[in-house]
Structure 1
Amino acid sequence: MSFCSFFGGEVYKDHFKPGVYVCSKCDHQLFTSRSKYEHSSPWPAFTETIREDSVSKHQERPGAFKVQCGKCGNGLGHEFVNDGPARGSSRF
């Protein structure tokens, strides 16, 4: 599976088959379907990355980090702290 593209529509928001989501530019593994959950945003939502180095993060404002592919730097969106499905969890 290839991770979402913010331009041209999102095809994986409602996709819940088992698998791994990878960067659309370099195929670096980002998220597993086990960490995916339903959310009201127009993009897929995940609680955690596959590995710590799957993404790089830069704080944009308190509680929000800009997220990029850990290998090629492709923009992936944001991590929102304390906005996941469980108390205190993040949403990617």
Structure 2
Amino acid sequence: MGFFSFLLLGLIAGAIAKLIIPGKQPGGWFVTLILGVIGAMLGGWLGGLIFHVDLQSFFSLSTWLLAIGGPLIVLLIYGLIVGRRASE
């Protein structure tokens, strides 16, 4: 999968992750999309490392599940870190 398709996948996965996580998350849509790209990269890397999943196909179900799972984790961690800072 090329760089631009991976970037597009991360942007879409970040938007889907924002819709899945309930409540108001810190940061706007731009921050969420950037974290989505980071999370998709993290999810793809961990998926390849742990589950030995081949992420060469843009339309593969395993690619999308890992690309959405990564941003979910990154957004949850970001919310915990920024949420603690805001309450101090």
- The structure with the larger Rg is 2
In the superposition, the TM-score normalised over structure 2's length comes to 0.23
Looking at secondary structure, tell me which structure has more strand per residue: 1
The higher relative CO (CA closer than 8 Å, separation ≥ 6) is in 2
In the superposition, the TM-score normalised over structure 1's length comes to 0.23
